[in-house]
Amino acid sequence: MKRVGIIGTGSYIPEKVLSNFDLEKILDTNDEWITTRTGISERRVAKNDEASSDLAQVAAERALAIAGITPEELELIVMATITPDTHCPAGANWLEAKIGAANAVSFDITAACTGFIFALSVAEQYIKAGIYHNALVVASEIMTRTLDWTDRETCILWGDGAGAAVITEVENDRGILSTHIHTDGAGGDTLLMPGGGSKTTPISHESVDKKLHTLNMIEGNRSFKVAVRRFSEACEEALSYNNLTLDDVKVIIPHQANLRILQGMAKQLDISMDKIYVNIEKYGNISSATVPIALDEAVKDGTIQPGDLVLLTAFGGGLTWGSSLIRW
């Protein structure tokens, strides 16, 4: 069996910072309330003329530079996003053109916050099958354009950004040991953007007035408990599959959903928070992009070293959850 590995990572965070103190000016909230409940101090907001493919372009070009791969050498681009530039064509198609990857096949994956792990799994299978050799996996989101800015429970959570990874065949014992993905469609209504699809077409004044085109979070407490359980199960599944334990893992890179969720996962797994990489305080929840952004930062700040065992895990709308265990 061929081993597939990540040979380059990259990320891009928009320049504009939206702090909790900024939100105090437009919402009935305060920094202490937000920080205590979410762990978030600030988040980033894309420029008005930036689309998801623009954020993805910068992250992708940085990952390609690290990997030493030219855009022309790419054969596959899989983009995870729930905020593509357009519903047609796909966000990945726009990205393909912008980076000049004329020889690549490109398409989107929609798996909400677990999107990067789903996209990584799809690209990995193509390479293992020998169909493609060099692939770009990217996740890019502009979540701030999906929000109801009068809803203080949800609009405080989200931010914008993109992360990318170049994957190809690798030698020795390094690379992706296993990837595991799951869905539960029966729970899909707990994190929902009801407008914009065929159910509410065409878009009307009525659908906009009802805020059907903004992200809704239903039964937050129930979602919190499910998230903690699925995060933990995803980690345990990857380790069990590979006959390893958490003691073998150098760092867990989770989806940055909410600090309290990550603390709940640590408690359930009986590990220290020191083993969990956290950057949610700077960026908030960027849906599918949080995992590759955190992964890129962990590589660049030296948290991850060659030979380290790295565990990626995520949970999101759909419901979706999954994990990927990687020997760096």
List C-alpha distances in Å: 233 to 47, 99, 229, 230.
Answer: 38, 37, 6, 5
- Residues with catalytic roles: 113, 255, 285
Structure tokens at 71: 């855009």
Tell which phi-psi region holds residue 130, choosing left (phi > 0), alpha (psi between -120 and 50) or beta.
left
List C-alpha distances in Å: 43 to 26, 112, 205.
Answer: 15, 18, 30
**Cα-flanking dihedrals φ and ψ of residue 17, to 5°?**
-105, 130
Report the amino acid identity of residue 68.
G
175-183 sheet: strands from edge to edge: 175-183, 320-327, 309-316, 251-254
Residue 171: count of CB within 10 angstroms of its CB: 8
